[in-house]
């Protein structure tokens, strides 16, 4: 059985700098897919970037908290349905198509009170939902394993090589990442760490490790074409 890896960049659309970093990691590195935050300040810039890079698969990054920790009652089922429908409609209006996959900002869709409902809402799309078991998920390439505490070794070349060797298994796997460049108007608890991710994701040693391990880079678009083919 072969080994297929999707490298997905979250937060596309959050800012122009984040968009620029994701595109660089796609063109020069190993990012193959991205998740569009339609609530982001630079969502339209993100769509233009996606159209200029058609090999970059784009999914929906459902967002109900933003970077400012705004309040949202996940227990309000009608509010969840309404917000998901609105963001999906916005995605379709921006991209002119449905998303290739769905996930959420800060993994809010995995909260116990909303998990089953989000699965129900995504099911008609026929696309993978992060954490549903269809595609294995690795989220350890992140510099804040403890909230607000930065340890850049977690996003170093060595750390990523270790993930590739020890955690990517046969079949289909998604590795999430958060590359981006900081801009004055963008406020986030995860800031300069994004630029460290860019350096790692574009490092030639990472591609060499992929080749050594026989890991094939894929996207959520190629997943639909290959893994879901009759």
pLDDT digits (tens, 9 = 90+) for 146-203: 988 999 999 999 999 999 999 999 999 999 999 999 998 888 889 999 999 999 999 9
pLDDT of 1 strictly over 70: no
Q: What is the pLDDT of residue 187?
A: 86
The number of angstroms, rounded, from the C-alpha of 30 to the middle of its chain's C-alpha atoms is 13
Among the options 10, 63, 103, 203, which is catalytic? 10
Give the residue-averaged pLDDT of 212-229: 88
Q: What pTM does this model have?
A: 0.95
pLDDT-based confidence at residue 230 (cuts at 50, 70, 90): low
Q: What is the pLDDT of residue 67?
A: 63
Beta strands in 160-206, from DSSP E residues, in sequence order: 171-177
pLDDT of 68 strictly over 80: no
Residue 214: its H or E element = none
How far is 175 from 171, CA to CA, in rounded Å?
13
pLDDT-based confidence at residue 225 (cuts at 50, 70, 90): confident
Half-sphere exposure of 36 (CA within 13 A, CB side): 30
Active site residue 76: no
Q: What is the pLDDT of residue 224?
A: 82
Domain boundaries of the chain, sorted by first residue: 3-226
Q: What is the CATH number of domain 3-226?
A: 3.20.20.370
Name the percent of the chain in helix, strand, coil, to the closest 5: 45, 15, 40
Sign for the pseudo-dihedral over CA of 44, 51, 189, 137: positive
pLDDT-based confidence at residue 143 (cuts at 50, 70, 90): very high
Give the residue-averaged pLDDT of 52-64: 96
- Range with the poorest average pLDDT among 16-20, 50-54, 64-68, 157-161: 64-68
Instruction: DSSP letter for 164, please.
Output: H
Q: What is the pLDDT of residue 75?
A: 86
Give the residue-averaged pLDDT of 111-136: 93
């Amino acid at each position: 059985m072969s080994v297929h890896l999707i490298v997905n960049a979250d937060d596309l659309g959050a800012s122009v700098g984040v968009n620029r970093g994701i595109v660089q990691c796609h063109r020069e590195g190993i990012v193959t897919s991205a998740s569009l935050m339609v609530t982001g300040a630079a969502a339209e810039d993100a769509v233009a970037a996606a159209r200029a890079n058609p090999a970059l698969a784009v999914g929906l990054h459902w967002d109900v908290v933003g970077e400012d920790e705004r309040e949202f009652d996940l227990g309000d089922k009608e509010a969840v349905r309404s917000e998901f429908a609105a963001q999906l409609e916005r995605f379709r209006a921006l991209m002119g198509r449905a998303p290739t996959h769905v996930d959420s900002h800060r993994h809010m869709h995995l909260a116990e009170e909303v998990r089953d409902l989000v699965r129900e809402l995504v099911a008609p799309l026929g696309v993978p939902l992060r954490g549903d078991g269809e595609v294995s998920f690795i989220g350890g390439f992140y510099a804040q394993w403890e909230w607000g505490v930065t340890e850049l070794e977690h996003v170093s070349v060595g750390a990523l090589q270790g993930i590739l060797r020890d955690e990517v298994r046969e079949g289909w796997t998604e590795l999430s990442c958060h590359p981006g460049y900081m801009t004055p108007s963008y406020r986030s608890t995860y800031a300069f760490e994004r630029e460290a991710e860019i350096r790692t994701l574009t490092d030639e040693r990472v591609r060499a490790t992929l080749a050594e391990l026989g890991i094939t880079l894929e996207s959520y678009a190629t997943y639909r074409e290959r893994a879901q083919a009759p």
